[in-house]
């Protein structure tokens, strides 16, 4: 029943009439069937409705991750990232997520126990706002490498010569998500333009009040602070439509780690094993009724209790896991030489539906290029297959040649016989 309610509120998010009862429109609508019109969607910058189910989506900042998650993160949902061993890439995705929020003028909420949220915000990657100009030398297709001036450049497929370059398409108005240059950090002016709420655990003295709840002090303080921000800044779905709506992007770094006071990672049988799951229930309920979206990273490699990790995953809508090759024997494996790690999709959201589409590919890998973080289908297997196929083909050609040669010889002999 609660699930149904959640779904309802998630669905309600994109509708502008959330605050108004449908009675206002009733003179014109005599039937309960209404034409779904686009004009009723709120236009919040940096969001778009999903092609599949009309859910309001925001970009994670990593275009390939958006694609993997079915277009983006649905507003009101949680993305869980299982950290890689040294938390380098999970942290990067979190920063991408926050940077995208800054560029889209969303509000941010950053919570951390290890580093000051300000440190995380200072490391946000620089957006490539004018990415058409910058991307051209990098992403030009082969087409343009060929001399443009001579028409003879294409001899056979010459009709294609004047077709526009498709690359420019990514700069078109329908683009979703931005590109970032991880080698640079975002300029402070851009960063400070975005409204950001910070939660740094050491600055929140947790009063030791005897509570009966299973939740830890740190988590309940975080949840309370989050609730307060959502209420104060009017991110609730039910809030009056007085001003233009915005999205709250919530980034929670390394939840469940020791610095949150949680011994989830330390022991096989943690004493407060339900603290994080209780928190996630609360977070989920909070998000479902507000225009907000959260990314949570968890050091899952330290959590010994797999069943517990399973229930944590279940409590988040999206869940991905990162496995960095750093320090593992896979680093030197030629199969993975082009990549920096593997990415597993643990869970995709089931929003307003019974089943959801899993990504087509099971073997996903990520790599950090000089400037960009991308997720790709691990192509090493197909690479090897291709190589095999080539050798098969060449072998086949050899056989063919032999057969034809013999056939020729045979005809020759036969005709020779004929003559004589």
C-alpha dihedral, 168 to 169 to 174 to 177, nearest 10°: -70
Among 86, 148, 206, 410, binds another protein (CB under 8 A): 86
Structure tokens at 232: 């104060």
- List binders of another protein among 229-288 (CB under 8 A): 257-263, 265-268
Sheet containing 73-74: order of strands: 47-49, 56-58, 73-74
| Calpha distance 196→191 (Å, rounded) | 9
- Helix H or strand E encompassing 301: none
Site string for another protein, 99-118 (x = CB under 8 A): ---------------x----
Coil, helix or strand for 223? Answer: helix
The interface with another protein within residues 336-375 (CB under 8 A) comprises: none
Euclidean distance between CA atoms 196 and 105, whole angstroms:
10
Q: Where are the beta strands (DSSP E) in 247-403?
A: 248-252, 292-298, 318-324, 341-347, 364-368, 373-377
Between 9 and 257, CB nearer to another protein: 257
Question: Which span sits near another protein by CB under 8 A: 32-40, 207-215, 387-395, 408-416?
Answer: 387-395
* Nearest CB to another protein, comparing residues 225 and 379: 379
Task: List the end-to-end C-alpha distance of the chain, in Å, as a whole number.
Answer: 96
What x/- string results for residues 280 through 299 when contact with another protein is judged by CB under 8 A? -------------------x
Selected from 42, 128, 170, 377, the binder of another protein by CB under 8 A is 170
412 binds another protein (CB under 8 A): no
172 binds another protein (CB under 8 A): yes
Select from 195, 204, 326, 371 the one that contacts another protein (CB under 8 A): 326
* Tokens 């950053």 -> residue: 110
Residue 379 as a binder of another protein (CB under 8 A): the answer is yes
β-pairing, 196-200 vs 180-185, is unpaired
How many residues would you count in the chain?
420
Count of C-beta atoms within a 10 Å radius of residue 380: 16
State which of residues 21, 27, 137, 164 lies at the interface with another protein (CB under 8 A): 164
Rounded CA gap, 206 and 260, in Å?
Answer: 11
Token couple for 193: 């333009």
Which neighbouring-strand residues pair with 47? 58
User: Is 59 or 246 the residue whose CB approaches another protein more closely?
Assistant: 59
Dist. CA 38–CA 49, nearest whole Å: 10
Q: Where are the alpha helices (DSSP H) in 141-271?
A: 142-145, 188-193, 217-232
Q: Which of 171, 193 has the CB closer to another protein?
A: 171
As measured in angstroms, the least distance from the Cβ of 208 to another protein is 13
- Work out whether 128 is an interface residue with another protein (CB under 8 A): no
Of the candidate spans 203-211, 245-253, 377-385, 412-420, the one that interacts with another protein by CB under 8 A turns out to be: 377-385
Work out how close the CB of 356 gets to another protein at its nearest, in angstroms, rounded to a whole number. Answer: 20
List of residues contacting another protein (CB under 8 A): 51, 86-88, 91-92, 114, 123, 139, 141-142, 151-152, 155, 158-159, 161-162, 164, 166-170, 172, 174-176, 202, 257-263, 265-268, 299, 301-304, 324, 326-327, 332, 334, 379, 382-383, 386-387, 390-391, 394, 397-398, 401
């Amino acid at each position: 029943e609660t699930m149904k309610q959640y779904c309802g509120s998630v669905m309600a998010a994109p509708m502008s009439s959330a605050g108004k009862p449908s009675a206002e429109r009733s003179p014109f609508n005599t039937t309960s069937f209404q034409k779904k019109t686009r004009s009723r969607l709120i236009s919040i910058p940096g969001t778009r409705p999903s092609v599949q189910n009309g859910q309001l989506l925001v970009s994670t900042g990593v275009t390939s991750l958006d694609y993997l998650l079915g277009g983006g993160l649905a507003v009101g949902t949680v993305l869980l990232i299982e950290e890689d061993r040294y938390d380098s890439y999970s942290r990067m995705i979190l920063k991408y997520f926050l940077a995208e929020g800054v560029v889209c003028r969303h509000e941010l909420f950053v919570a951390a126990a290890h580093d000051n949220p300000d440190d995380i915000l200072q490391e946000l990657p620089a957006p490539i706002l004018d990415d058409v100009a910058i991307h051209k030398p990098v992403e030009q297709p082969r087409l343009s490498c060929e001399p443009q001036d001579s028409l003879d450049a294409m001899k056979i497929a010459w009709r294609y010569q004047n077709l526009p370059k498709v690359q420019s398409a990514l700069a078109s108005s329908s683009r979703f998500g931005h590109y970032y240059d991880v080698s640079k950090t975002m300029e402070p002016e851009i960063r400070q333009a975005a409204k950001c709420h910070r939660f740094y655990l050491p600055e929140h003295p947790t009063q030791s009040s005897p509570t009966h709840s299973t939740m830890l002090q740190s988590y309940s303080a975080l949840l309370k602070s989050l609730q307060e921000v959502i209420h104060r800044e009017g991110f609730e779905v039910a809030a009056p439509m007085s001003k233009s709506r915005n999205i709250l992007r919530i980034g929670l770094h390394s939840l469940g780690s020791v610095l949150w006071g949680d011994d989830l990672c330390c022991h096989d049988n943690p004493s407060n094993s339900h603290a994080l799951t209780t928190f996630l229930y609360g977070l989920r309920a909070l998000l479902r009724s507000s225009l907000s979206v959260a990314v949570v990273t968890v050091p899952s490699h330290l959590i010994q209790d797999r069943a517990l990790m399973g229930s944590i995953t279940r409590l988040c809508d999206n869940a991905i896991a990162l496995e960095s090759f750093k320090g593992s024997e896979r680093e030197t494996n030629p199969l993975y030489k082009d990549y920096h790690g593997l990415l597993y999709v643990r869970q995709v959201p089931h929003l307003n539906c019974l089943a959801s589409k899993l990504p087509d590919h099971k073997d996903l890998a990520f790599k950090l290029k000089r400037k960009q973080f991308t997720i790709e289908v691990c192509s090493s297997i197909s690479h090897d297959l291709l190589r095999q196929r080539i050798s098969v083909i060449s072998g086949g050609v050899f056989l063919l040649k032999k057969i034809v040669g013999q056939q020729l010889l045979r005809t020759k002999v036969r005709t020779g016989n004929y003559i004589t």
